[in-house]
Amino acid sequence: MVWREARRESNFEKFKPYLSKIVELERVIADKLGYEGHPYNALLDLYEEGFTVNDADNVFNTLLPNLKSILEKVLSESRYPSKHPLEDVPYDVNAMKSINEELLKILDMPVGTRFRMDVSTHPFTTSMSINDVRITTRYEGKDFRSTMFSVIHESGHAMYELMIDPSLEMTPVGRGVSMGVHESQSRFWENVIGRSREFVHLIYPLLKERLPFLKGYGEEDIYKYFNIVRPSLIRVDADEVTYNFHIALRYEIEKGLIAGKLDVSDLPSLWNDFMDKYLGVRPRNDAEGVLQDIHWSQGSFGYFPTYTLGNVIAGMIYAKLPGLRDKVASKRFNEIREFLRDRICKHGAIYPPKELLIRSFNDTYNPTYLLNYLREKYLG
């Protein structure tokens, strides 16, 4: 509650004493859980079993300089827009609801039997059982891609839950294995598939038919609108190229706080310096900066790095799934789902994440695949 008020007032000082206490408690939790090496390892393990600071450092040390190079080239060559007029165009909510319902049909979601979609303030997925998985989206009234990609993203999470082997139902392993692997499914469907040229080609007639304001916008316009690239202040609005910089910032701060090397008082200026260093932008206030996420107010330290792991694993899936582009172009989503079922989903939480990835892809958290995907898409 205090975080919510502090963010509304853009006043970090109001939240600071509470965050200081939370950080103290997180250090106690790490000690009670036990760890080898860095104390942050104990908290990382809560969300991604077996994932350590060494693993995270290896991922970010490879990602960041290469992402910086990709971003600079994309911005300097203006291949993708940094803004688009469709971001500000209002849409009819009923029209978008009908489009989202058609998207679920295209993705072959089992609507009305094992799955349903509703509306909420923030999109999410929840699983009552393997045979009852539900998602939500929201309708903000403009920038229609937002609600659309929420539907595709949450459907990715839902597919994971729906494809767990039924024999695991009601057991401790009848669930997704980790936050990172779960996020890989939503990121893969949202970004690798949903923002691809092939998927745009599939849904363009539907969009043109239901949204009159798209008159005058061709397929290429919609593709570019779906793939805007720009350094931005808010993590949840970030694009594929810049998103992982937002996570790296949070990772470095959490690692330093849990190790006792950073002081909570320094976070606003430290946050702003990291944003400047990574993306060349500086928050104008605390609400745009250090206060933007709910995670720390609820004690979720160690959670943020799993978002990057999701992107990294999605890159691995892209590299390992044969003929992906052809499958999307010909609407053979059942073949994509069967690949994911066999390699990831059906196993639930039987294997720890690293073992699952080695069994399925003969690799672990290797960011090279993600970098290759981004270079191919944005610089190819």
Question: Mind telling me the catalytic residues?
Answer: 154
**Residue 174 to residue 195: CA distance in whole angstroms:** 31
Q: How many CA atoms does the CB half-sphere of 167 hold within 13 Å?
A: 3
- What is residue 219's three-state secondary structure? helix
Closest CA to 86 of 236, 254, 216: 216
* Residue 348 burial by Cβ neighbours in a 10 Å radius (0-12, 13-18, 19+): buried
Which neighbouring-strand residues pair with 117? Answer: 135
Quick check: 222 and 204 in contact, CB under 8 A? yes
Quick check: 47 and 180 in contact, CB under 8 A? yes
Instruction: Report helix angle 243-259 to 40-47, nearest 10.
Output: 140
Dihedral pair phi/psi, residue 135, rounded to 5°? -130, 165
Closest CA to 240 of 196, 273, 200, 203: 196
